[in-house]
Amino acid sequence: MENADRHRSDPSTVSSRETGLAVSHILARTLFGIQHLHYGYWPPEMPVEVANVAAAQERYTEELISAIPDDVESILDVGCGPATNALRLLDRGYEVECVQPPGPLADLARQALAGRAPLHTTFFQSFSCERDYDLVLFSESLLFIRPLSEAISKAASLLREKGYLLICDIFRKPPPGSSEGSDSYHTGPIGGGHYARDFEAVMASQPLRLLENTDLSPGIAPTFDLIARVMGDIRPAYDLVMGKFAGRRPIATWLLRRVAKLDKYEKKHFRADRDGAAFLASKEYRRLLYQLDSDAHG
């Protein structure tokens, strides 16, 4: 099981991850016109092609917004990233506030929001306010926040009476037929996500009633098929460039492989089995809607 304290107390870990996400977002936006940082949602009729990534991401946002109850006006977007979902919510007339840890993603969010919504630049564990919200939103952000029990408890405390918690995220699922604890999980070649059983145990202890549990996995999985295909197309050119670089700069190449751990990243990102089938085997992507209810648990 992952060390929860390490994720909480090591700002450098978060900063490195945030930097990588920010760079990925800037490159995707510059090269392909892709605005969102989250996965795409691929309905059966949409061809899984690079040209359709932006449309698939917009479809994801539509799937997210469609779950928001009619009586919601104010939303706290936790881990808003570059704030693209927040902008869509603002365009729909919602009152939005955002929380994002300090770093390059927060800078991108501030630029994108341009004063349209408050941006609280802090870790969610440290966030505090004197108001409550109709809905707290985690869109591919809960997986980064630990301890999980503290995150959910804080989210519940920020809701108005009968307010809502909306979660759209990846979870690690147990092997078929397994009844053991979290240490029995197989993660496969694709990482990330809280353990489903741990999440369910935390939610059972909270004053939150489950209203919706929708499996979006089949629509998310093609993203991994596309990534695997693109990385396979890139690999020959990458090997050619790295081969020439190694011949001309052997010491720099050695440093890249030893200090920057290039071998680790190559092994991870160029694996042929990091595809949709691998995702479906070890992960599930859920859209979960809860309502604050003091009678939801004993």
Closest CA to 164 of 90, 72, 77: 72
Helix (H), strand (E) at residue 291? strand 283-292
The overall average pLDDT reported for the chain is: 85
Mean pLDDT within 266-274: 79
Task: Return the amino acid letter for 85.
Answer: N
Confidence of residue 261 (pLDDT cuts 50, 70, 90): confident
Structure tokens at 105: 């993603």
Phi, psi dihedral angles at 278 (to 5 degrees): -65, -40
3-state secondary structure of 249: coil
Task: Return the amino acid letter for 80.
Answer: C
Q: Is the dihedral of CA 259, 265, 268, 272 positive or negative?
A: negative
CATH 3.40.50.150 in the chain, residues? 4-217+284-292
Q: How many CB atoms lie within 10 A of CB 92?
A: 11
- Do the Cβ atoms of 103 and 81 come closer than 8 Å? no
Share of the chain above pLDDT 70, in %: 82
Q: How far apart are CA 39 and CA 17, in angstroms?
A: 17
What's the CATH architecture for 4-217+284-292? 3-Layer(aba) Sandwich (3.40)
Beta bridge partner(s), residue 78: 99, 138
Q: Which is higher by pLDDT, 180 or 265?
A: 265
| Distance, C-alpha 192 to centroid of its chain | 9
Whether 10 has a pLDDT exceeding 50, the answer reads no
Confidence of residue 37 (pLDDT cuts 50, 70, 90): low
Q: Which is higher by pLDDT, 210 or 191?
A: 210
- Confidence at residue 133, expressed as pLDDT on a 0 to 100 scale: 98
| Distance, C-alpha 135 to centroid of its chain | 18
Whether 24 has a pLDDT exceeding 80, the answer reads no
Confidence of residue 5 (pLDDT cuts 50, 70, 90): very low
- Confidence at residue 87, expressed as pLDDT on a 0 to 100 scale: 96
- Do the Cβ atoms of 107 and 137 come closer than 8 Å? no
Q: How far apart are CA 223 and CA 78, in angstroms?
A: 23
Provide the phi-psi class of 29: left if phi over 0, else alpha when psi is between -120 and 50, else beta.
alpha
Looking at residue 207, the DSSP 8-state letter turns out to be S
- Confidence at residue 183, expressed as pLDDT on a 0 to 100 scale: 53
- Confidence at residue 22, expressed as pLDDT on a 0 to 100 scale: 41
- Confidence at residue 220, expressed as pLDDT on a 0 to 100 scale: 96
Residue pLDDT, tens place only, 77-126: 999 999 999 999 999 999 999 999 998 889 989 999 999 999 999 999 99
Q: How far apart are CA 144 and CA 151, in angstroms?
A: 10
Structure tokens at 269: 């990102």
Share of the chain above pLDDT 90, in %: 59
Residue pLDDT, tens place only, 215-255: 999 999 999 999 888 888 888 888 898 899 889 988 888 88
